[in-house]
Amino acid sequence: MLPVGAGILALACLASVLWSGMAERPVALAFGVLVALGELTRRAGAEVREAAPLGAAGALAYALLGDVAGRPTHHGVAQTVTVVLAASLLGSVPYIARGSGPVLDHLARRVLTVAFAAVCFQPLFNRGVFQDWSGPAHALLLIALLALTTLCDAVLAAAPAHARTGWPFGPLLREELRGMVGITSAVCATGAVMALAVGVAGLWALPVFCVPLLLTQLSYRRYTAVRATYRQTIASLARATEIAGYTPAGHARRVAELSGAVGRDMGLSGAELNVLEYAALMHDIGQLSLVDPVPGGATAGLPAAEQRRIALLGGAVVRQTGVDSAVAVVVERQADPCREQPVAARIVRAVNAYEEKARGAGPGGGLTALEELRLATAGDYAPDVVEALARVLARGSLTSPAAG
């Protein structure tokens, strides 16, 4: 529904501009070039929250632009949406040609977010409501409007994710808002400063404010590349138990994917989900210290003392790899009584047990394994984690993990 709504809005704005004509064409061209440049240099990837910070800042600045070198503008909401959409489409041509990244969703959010900001500002400005707002008052006004726009963008991101995955809307919205503290705050601040600077100094202010965001984007690109390499290293380490024959192929990956889904259902933050994913990938690495492998790598059926020994050995290995110490703590404590465990360790323990019990159990193995977890003693598996696991599985399939 998000692309459909954005498409209807874009068509209406385009028809309005074609009917009434383009106002302040040099200004529209300057901001269009800025947005297109931002899209051309954007970063594609699931880990990037704001893929095109320069384009986003330019679009917001145009939506909140009231003056150019002291002269009032009259471009309005329809022209703002049309220019931003046209520039974004132009800048997205290489990505569309390569088929890389969710371009349609990205453009839909950009159109709706910019339209919201423009609707909040342009009609009131053109009626002279903000005529006496100058200096700090005008800056505070833009900051307030950008805060509302950020909330709107977070809702536009969380609502489709909720509809697509069935995860609770509240935690998804909180996670979007948490993630916007970083790069999104810089984008909003730059957009506000751009609008203010162009109002005083004219269009020459635009290239001046492009440089900081371009440098930020370059640094953020390097950061995401390091994170991707870091995760690949952890995934490679996690496969050591599979290569050595201690655990079945794909076990660590399945546990990590299902643990992440359970963590999202329980409302864990992005940082907590990262720790959970890494710990789930490496939860069996302590088995490398065993002389005789556990049949099928199924540690859930071992005595509690042996489970703790393997967990402690695994935590020691994780600490030697240089991975975040929080990951080592989760690996070390996955065999402790659940009331003494951190939430991530409770999740890894329950999901690992489910995967081991359901694997190879044939039809209905998933339901049987889930029922065993529910009937286990309270010290074995946390009831809230088991119920979250049940909700996640209900949204997908309760077939045996080995078949997945």
* Exposure string for 81-117, b = 16+ CB within 10 A, e = fewer: bbbbbbbbeebbeebeeeeebebeebbbbbbbbbbbb
- Residue 381 within any structural domain of the chain: yes
Of 198, 226, 254, the one marking the end of a domain is: 226
In this structure, the answer to whether residues 220 and 267 fall within a common structural domain is no
Cα–Cα distance for residue pair 371/60, rounded to 1 Å: 52
In this structure, the answer to whether residues 278 and 327 fall within a common structural domain is yes
- Residue 131 within any structural domain of the chain: yes
Of 226, 252, 272, the one marking the end of a domain is: 226
In this structure, the answer to whether residues 182 and 328 fall within a common structural domain is no
- Residue 234 within any structural domain of the chain: no
Q: CA angle at residue 159 from 158 to 164, to 5 degrees? A: 100
3-state DSSP call for residue 139? helix
Look at 202-216, 315-329, 355-369 and tell me which has the smallest mean pLDDT. Answer: 355-369
Cα–Cα distance for residue pair 211/281, rounded to 1 Å: 40
In this structure, the answer to whether residues 202 and 244 fall within a common structural domain is no
pLDDT for residue 342 is more than 50: yes
- Residue 60 within any structural domain of the chain: yes
- Residue 314 within any structural domain of the chain: yes
H-helix or E-strand containing 71? strand 71-72
Query: Shortest CA distance to 290 belongs to which of 265, 270, 262, 310?
Result: 310
CATH classification of the domain holding 308: 1.10.3210.10
In this structure, the answer to whether residues 207 and 294 fall within a common structural domain is no
Of 226, 259, 276, the one marking the end of a domain is: 226
List, in order, residues 6 or more apart from 286 with CB less than 8 Å away: 309, 310, 311, 312, 313, 314, 315, 316, 317, 331
- Residue 395 within any structural domain of the chain: yes
What pTM was computed for the model? 0.68
Per the prediction, the chain carries an average pLDDT of 80
Residues in the chain: 404
In this structure, the answer to whether residues 334 and 211 fall within a common structural domain is no
3-state DSSP call for residue 80? helix
In this structure, the answer to whether residues 195 and 264 fall within a common structural domain is no
When pLDDT is averaged across residues 371-400 and rounded to a whole number, the result is: 76
Each residue of 259-275: pLDDT tens digit?
Answer: 988 888 888 877 888 88
H-helix or E-strand containing 67? strand 67-68
Cα–Cα distance for residue pair 23/100, rounded to 1 Å: 34
The single-letter DSSP state of residue 50 is S
List, in order, residues 6 or more apart from 80 with CB less than 8 Å away: 62, 63, 114, 115, 118, 122
When pLDDT is averaged across residues 33-50 and rounded to a whole number, the result is: 68
Number of domains in the chain: 2
pLDDT at 45: 46
In this structure, the answer to whether residues 253 and 174 fall within a common structural domain is no
- Residue 231 within any structural domain of the chain: no
Look at 74-78, 186-190, 218-222 and tell me which has the smallest mean pLDDT. Answer: 218-222
In this structure, the answer to whether residues 218 and 246 fall within a common structural domain is no
Could you tell me the CA-to-CA distances from 344 to 26, 190, 349, 355, 384 in Å, in that order? Answer: 55, 37, 9, 16, 12
Query: Shortest CA distance to 188 belongs to which of 227, 223, 149, 140?
Result: 149
In this structure, the answer to whether residues 209 and 245 fall within a common structural domain is no
pLDDT at 123: 87
In this structure, the answer to whether residues 42 and 170 fall within a common structural domain is yes
- Residue 233 within any structural domain of the chain: no
| Structural domain of 250 | 239-403
Q: What is the DSSP string of 323-372?
A: --HHHHHHHHTTTS-GGGS-HHHHHHHHHHHHHHHHTT--TTHHHHHHHH
In this structure, the answer to whether residues 217 and 316 fall within a common structural domain is no
pLDDT higher for 218 or 207? Answer: 207
